[in-house]
Amino acid sequence: MGLTRIPVTVRKLGSKEGESYTATFLVDTGSMDSLVPASELRKLGIEPRRTELYEMASGQLQTFDIGFAEFTFLGKEVPVQIMFGAENTEPILGVIALEQAGFVVDPVAERLTKLPARSLKPVALKSVA
C-alpha cells in the first residue's frame, strides 16, 4: 500500500476570488481533520477560532489551534475544519474533507474514487463483547 497525494487549494471561507494556498496534500484517512502550516493560513486571513486536543500516531496528545477554510480538490469545493500546523509540516487532507466531497481512497491504486451516491442509510454498530 502506498501513499496518496493530491493538489488542494485553500481559501478563506466565502472568498471566491483573491489569495489562495495551493499545495500537494497527503491523503490521510487516519486523520479526521485537515492540517496546513499556520503561517499559510494566516496569510489568507484565516484565524484560529478555538483549540482542540488530538491524539498523534505515536499516542502522544497535542493541542492544535482550529479554524475554518474552503478546500478545492478534484473539482469539488468543501468547507472544512482545519488544524494550524507547525512550519514545514506536510499538509494533510483528512477523512472528513474527503467524505464531504464524496470521495473514498483506493489504497491499491493510490488514488481517490468518487462515490456514485451519498449514503443516507444508518450505519449499524457492531458490539465487540
pLDDT the model gives residue 128: 55
Alpha-carbon span 96 to 38, nearest angstrom: 20
pLDDT the model gives residue 35: 97
pLDDT the model gives residue 106: 74
Query: Chunked in runs of 10, what are the mean pLDDT values of the chain (129 residues)?
Result: 84 86 92 95 96 92 96 93 94 92 77 73 56
pLDDT the model gives residue 1: 45
Domains of the chain: 5-114 (2.40.70.10)
pLDDT the model gives residue 41: 97
Q: Buried (b) or exposed (e) across 43-73, using 16+ Cβ within 10 A?
A: ebebebeeeeebeeeeeeeeebbbbebbbbb
